Amino acid sequence: MILRTALTGTILALALSGAADGRGAKECAVTRILADGRVVRSVAPAGAAESVSVRSGNGAASASAHSRSRGSASASSSSSASSGGGRHASHATSSYTDEEGRRVTVTRDDNGCAIEIDERDS
């Protein structure tokens, strides 16, 4: 699990977990703890969202990535899956830039989760 962040300000802690649900899907879950003690389940501001998920097993692999943002913004995502010879692999990346110039990138593959938050351009 990798965590790189250039966040400043209200964020006191950022925890990242690569949980697997009961059906075998592995997702990235981000928890942000604000200065006033509130816990926010996403790094995304209002109007923005991202999610990544991968699943593999029984000779099959799948990956999905979604991103959304509002304002003067950009969003991008990518996913890949491969299978063959009894092996399989999947990879998903999702990112967005909000109108404050903060870039959030979340990546998930079969090995783990990574999130990169960069607001240096804001």
Partner 1 sequence: MSAYRTSAALAASLAFAAPALAQTGTQGTASGGGDVNASTCGSGSTTGTSITVQGCADANAANGGTVDTSNTARANERMGMQRSTARAVDADERARARTQTQVRQGGVVRSRTMTMYHKRGEKPVHEVITNTSPKPSTKPH
Residue ranges binding partner 1 (CB under 8 A): 47, 59-85, 88, 90, 92, 94, 96, 99
Q: How far is the CB of 7 from partner 1 (least distance, A)?
A: 22
> What sign for the dihedral angle of Cα 98, 31, 79, 5?
positive
Q: How far is the CB of 38 from partner 1 (least distance, A)?
A: 26
Element (H, E) at 103: strand 103-109
Please give the Cα distance from 75 to 95 (Å, whole number): 6
Find tokens 């990346």 and name the residue: 93
Report the half-sphere exposure of 86 (CA within 13 A, side-chain side).
0
- Nearer residue to partner 1 within complex by CB, 88 or 102: 88
- Nearer residue to partner 1 within complex by CB, 10 or 78: 78
Give, in degrees to the nearest 5, the angle at Cα 16 between 15 and 17: 125
- Nearer residue to partner 1 within complex by CB, 7 or 75: 75
- Nearer residue to partner 1 within complex by CB, 66 or 116: 66
Q: How far is the CB of 56 from partner 1 (least distance, A)?
A: 10
Q: How far is the CB of 70 from partner 1 (least distance, A)?
A: 5
